[in-house]
Amino acid sequence: MLTGSAAVSISGLTKRYGTLIAVDHLDLEVKRGEVFGFLGLNGAGKTTTIRILLDLLRPTSGHASIFGHNCQSDSLRARGAVGYLPGEMGIYSDLTGHELLVFLERIGGKSVSREHRNNLTRRFELTERDLSRKLREYSTGMKRKLGLIQAFQADPPLLILDEPTEGLDPLMQESFYELLADARNRGRTVFMSSHVLPEVERVCDRIAMVRKGKVVFLSTVEDARKLASRRVRVVFGQDVAVPISLPRGYEMVEAEPRRWIVRVTGPLGSLPSFLAAFPVADLAVEEARLEDVLVKYYRDGAE
């Protein structure tokens, strides 16, 4: 029974390894039914946090819960609601793909609908023949697909996915995005770590960025995008001189006699009046990219 109001709730979570602080007083809440992106560079503390949620690691202090079940003191119930894809799949190479799926189904305690599993294998283009092969014969991409299938097969209310598209080809990435959209439409919650920003921008509702074990940025994707500066390409009908100063929030990126590229932070409201004095032939505004906002946090952890 899922009791808690939040799918994932993390409060003051800290994990130390001697003097190294992997997770530092982390607070986070993932709402039910949302796709939540957990971002950060390697070593930022993403996987450590995920492993604490699954009770694989024990926190130094703080606590975490899944649907109201404490991840340490009530971990069996917490884990009963989770489908997990590890960042690196450790598998017995002498098992077949089918044997692994059946083994994980049996220990998961929930029966898996054959139709649902077949649907998953079809989506990821794994044939019966592929599933009857030993895992030692699987490529990296095939192992990743099998990992996704085992995470989704019991149709759990919460999916915890660690770098889910790592090793998938572009077509399979598309299949994964569709699967994620289906899961969201059916009310499932997804907590995924990634450092592929376009992917996060495409599939996530909200994002948190961790740096040195701390959340340095937490926002909806929409709001984050608003913070991004946009590039405006202006083409002139004749040569123009570069202005000595630009309005506040404008930055000249490239300036040629007949073409400027200007970075604009914030609303574009003053742009038409600024350009009215110039012989503008064409104007193109690029879509704001989440990457432009987040890279700043990657670099310096700016607030």
Partner 1 sequence: MTVLFTLVVQLLRRVRKFLLAAGGLLAGFQIVLILQANSIQASNSFAKMGDLVPAFARDILGPSFVAFLTFKGIVCLGYFHPVVMGALVSVSVTIATIPIMEIESGFIDLVLARPVARHWVLTRSILAATIAIVYLLVMMALGTWIGLSSFAAKDAAWPSAALVGLLAMNLGLLMLCWAAIAMAIGCACRRRGSAGAIAGLLALTAYLTDYVGRAWKPADSIAWLSPFRYYTPFELVMGSALPAKSLYVLGGIAFAAFALAYALYSRRDISH
CA atoms within 13 Å, Cβ hemisphere of 258: 6
Q: Measured from the CB atom, is 157 or 264 closer to partner 1?
A: 157
Segment near partner 1 (CB under 8 A); pick from 38-46, 75-83, 190-198, 232-240: 75-83
Q: Is 145 in the site for partner 1 (CB under 8 A)?
A: no
Contact string (CB under 8 A) for partner 1, positions 155-194, x = contact:
-----x----------------------------------
Q: Which backbone phi and psi does 3 adopt, to 5 degrees?
A: -105, -45
Report the candidate in 157, 126, 153 with the shortest Cα–Cα distance to residue 142.
Answer: 126
Residue 55 found at the interface with partner 1 (CB under 8 A): yes
Q: Is 80 in the site for partner 1 (CB under 8 A)?
A: yes
In angstroms, give the least distance from the CB of 46 to partner 1: 14
What are 264's strand-pairing partners? 230, 250
Please tell me the number of Cα atoms within 13 Å of 240 on its side-chain side.
19
37 with 206: CB under 8 angstroms?
A: yes
Q: Does 21 bind partner 1 (CB under 8 A)?
A: no
Closer to partner 1 by CB, 50 or 208: give it: 50
**Site for partner 1 contains 134 (CB under 8 A):** no
Give the closest residue to 45 by CA, choosing from 16, 66, 70, 18: 16
Edge-to-edge strand list for the sheet holding 230-236: 250-256, 259-264, 230-236, 280-285
Q: Say whether residue 8 binds partner 1 (CB under 8 A).
A: no
**Nearer CB in complex with partner 1: 107/241:** 107
Query: Which lies closer to partner 1 via its Cβ, residue 53 or residue 179?
Result: 53
From residue 93 to residue 132, the character string flagging contacts with partner 1 as x (rule: CB under 8 A) and all else as - is -x--------xx-xxxx-----------------------
* Nearest partner of 55 among 36, 43, 42, 69, judged by Cα: 69
- Going through 250-291 in order, the beta strands assigned E by DSSP cover 250-256, 259-264, 280-285
- Kindly list the residues in this chain that would bind partner 1 in the complex (CB under 8 A): 51, 54-58, 76-77, 79-80, 82, 84, 86, 88-92, 94, 103-104, 106-109, 150, 160
